[in-house]
Every structure is written in structure tokens, then in C-alpha cells.
């Protein structure tokens, strides 16, 4: 049994069954809605995605908090006290200060636990893209790979984790500063949908546009043909914000056109969903590059 634990945060959007199966430690991020703070646990114990998106559709907005140094330190120290080493795979530093909190905490704990190995990796990933990356690393751990082998693989392969997504409502992207007010108004009138991805710096950027919802979903599938490495042998991931039918459509099209060993679908959690709103579909796979 490997004597180390992989820690990540709940922006990874992994299903609870995989968190338990892969023996991961997931630090829940916080979100605030209607004046109350909730924790985004993988088992959705404090608020389900259905409830969250229902509230958004009723006009309630949510804000989010990154993990602070104290929270990161507590999560890591709980493992270290069990005489186990720690590998952190954290939320993209291009989108949150969560990873920086893990890094500061790791540096402080290294002095307190000099005999333990404590490593952190900035995944430059988000949502189930981060989840896919953690899944791959955890599978390597289960196969008996050492903490250094998994860390080195993560650093060498993180820029091959492809993130492509589209949204149905530009309002939330406008609120987050991802598109201008004029773009949101004109795009909504003309049914123009952005096709976006996470770049090599871990930032969300607009890559293309599509006319209509179905075209934007097909554009996601097209990216598999452009970028994926051996798609038929991959486990791919799709996350969605209260639009399972659209996520399933993307999965079916991928299987029809390219094949895939498995496609795992899960909801986008409230921490990411606060910024995408309902109607987001995101596709994640391993490519030759992002």
C-alpha cells in the first residue's frame, strides 16, 4: 500500500463514489448564497447541484471563497500526523488562490515535519478537468507508483489536459468579466454561443463562437478530433450545470465518431457553477496539447 495521500479540492467536481474508490482527500471550498455560507462537499451534503441551479434560475446569485492557508494546512497536517506523505493536486492558480494557499502551507509544514515528503502541483486545471487529472494520478497510485513518480508525471502532463466548454446563458460570463456587456446582449439576441477553454496559464479564454446551442455542443466534440491522443482508449469526462441531456448528447457523439473507453458525466459543483450559471457543458480529455 502506498504510504501517501493525494489531496485535492472540491473544484475538481469528482463524483463522491470515485473520491471514495480512489481514496482521495477532498478539501471542500465555500460558496455564499442568500447570506449563508455552504461547503461544497463531493457528496453534496450541504446543497445539491439541483437545488443550487434551481436557486440561480430563481434569481439568486452566489459568490465563492478560495481555500485559505489555515484550511489547507489543517487538511495536510491531518494526513502527516498519520505518518503519511502528501501530494496536493490543486485548482488552477490562474483561476483561484487556492493552490497558493496549499503551497504556503506545504512550505510551513515541511519545517514542522522534516522527515515527511510534501509535494504540491498546480494542475492549471478546473472542474472535471482537474477531476480527470486527479483520477489519472490516483490510478497510478493504486498501481503502486511512488509519490515522486506521480508528481513528476503530473508536472510533465498537465498541459495535455484539454478543457473545452460552452454556456447557454452569457449573463454569468458577463458578470464574471469573461465577456463584455455588449457581447452578452448581442450574443443573446443572435443565439451566439462562446466556445471556451483553459489555456496553458490556467486561465479561461474564449476560443471560438457557434451559432446556436447544438452547434456549440458539436464544436466541443470536434475538438476531440483535433486534439485528442488515441481517443478510443481514453476515459473522458463531461461536466454540466443542470443540463444532463446536453452532456449525454456530447458523450453519444464522441462515442459515435471517435469511441472512448469510458465517459464519466457529473454535475458542475456550486463553486464552478457560480461563475458559469445553468446550461454549461464542459468536455475534458487528454490531448497532444491544450
Domain CATH code at residue 22: 3.40.50.10170
Tell which of 123, 158, 193 closes a domain: 158
Q: 15 and 238 in contact (C-beta within 8 Å)?
A: no
pLDDT single digits (tens) 63-106:
999 999 999 999 999 999 999 999 999 999 999 999 999 999 99
142, 158, 174 - which closes a domain = 158
Is the backbone of residue 220 left (phi > 0), alpha (psi -120 to 50) or beta? alpha
Residues 95, 202, single domain; the answer is: no
Q: Which residues span the domain enclosing 150?
A: 4-158
Nearest to 136 by CA among 123, 163, 98: 123
Tell me the per-residue pLDDT of 259-275, one tens digit each, with 9 for 90 and over.
999 999 999 999 999 98
- Are residue 206 and residue 91 in the same domain, yes or no? no
- 124 and 8 within one domain: yes
Q: What is the pLDDT of residue 180?
A: 62
Express as a percent the part of the chain with pLDDT over 70: 93
Question: Three cell numbers at 276?
Answer: 458559469
Please check the confidence at residue 185 and state whether its pLDDT lies above 60: no
Q: DSSP letter string over 63-79?
A: EEEPPPHHHHHHHHHHH
Cell numbers describing residue 33: 448564497
Q: Can you give the pLDDT at residue 227?
A: 98
Count of domains for the chain: 2
pTM for the model: 0.93
The grid cell for 225 is 478530433
Q: What is the pLDDT of residues 33-48, one digit of tens each?
A: 999 999 999 999 999 9
pLDDT at 263: 98
Q: Are residues 180 and 248 in the same domain?
A: yes
Amino acid at each position: 500500500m502506498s504510504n501517501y495521500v493525494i489531496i485535492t479540492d472540491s473544484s475538481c467536481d469528482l463524483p463522491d463514489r470515485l473520491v471514495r474508490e480512489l481514496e482521495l482527500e477532498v478539501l471542500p471550498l465555500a460558496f455564499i448564497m442568500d447570506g449563508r455560507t455552504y461547503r461544497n462537499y463531493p457528496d453534496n451534503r450541504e446543497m445539491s447541484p439541483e437545488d443550487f441551479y434551481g436557486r440561480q434560475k430563481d434569481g439568486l446569485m452566489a459568490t465563492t471563497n478560495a481555500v485559505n492557508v489555515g484550511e489547507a494546512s489543517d487538511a495536510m497536517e491531518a494526513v502527516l500526523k498519520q505518518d503519511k506523505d502528501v501530494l496536493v493536486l490543486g485548482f488552477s492558480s490562474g483561476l483561484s488562490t487556492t493552490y497558493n494557499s496549499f503551497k504556503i502551507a506545504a512550505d510551513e509544514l515541511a519545517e514542522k515535519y522534516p522527515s515527511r515528503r510534501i509535494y504540491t502541483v498546480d494542475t492549471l486545471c478546473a472542474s472535471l478537468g482537474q477531476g480527470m487529472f486527479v483520477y489519472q494520478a490516483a490510478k497510478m497510485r493504486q498501481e503502486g507508483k511512488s509519490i515522486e513518480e506521480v508528481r513528476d508525471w503530473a508536472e510533465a502532463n498537465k498541459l495535455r489536459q484539454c478543457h473545452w466548454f460552452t454556456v447557454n446563458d452569457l449573463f454569468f460570463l458577463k458578470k464574471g468579466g469573461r465577456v463584455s456587456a455588449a457581447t452578452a446582449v448581442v450574443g443573446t439576441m443572435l443565439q451566439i454561443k462562446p466556445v471556451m477553454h483553459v489555456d496553458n496559464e490556467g486561465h479561461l479564454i474564449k476560443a471560438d463562437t457557434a451559432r446556436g446551442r447544438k452547434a456549440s455542443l458539436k464544436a466541443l466534440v470536434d475538438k476531440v478530433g483535433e486534439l485528442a491522443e488515441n481517443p478510443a482508449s481514453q476515459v473522458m469526462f463531461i461536466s454540466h450545470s443542470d443540463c444532463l441531456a446536453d452532456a449525454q448528447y456530447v458523450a453519444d457523439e464522441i462515442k459515435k465518431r471517435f469511441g472512448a473507453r469510458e465517459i464519466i458525466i457529473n454535475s458542475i459543483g456550486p463553486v464552478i457553477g457560480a461563475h458559469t450559471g445553468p446550461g454549461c457543458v464542459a468536455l475534458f480529455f487528454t490531448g497532444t496539447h491544450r
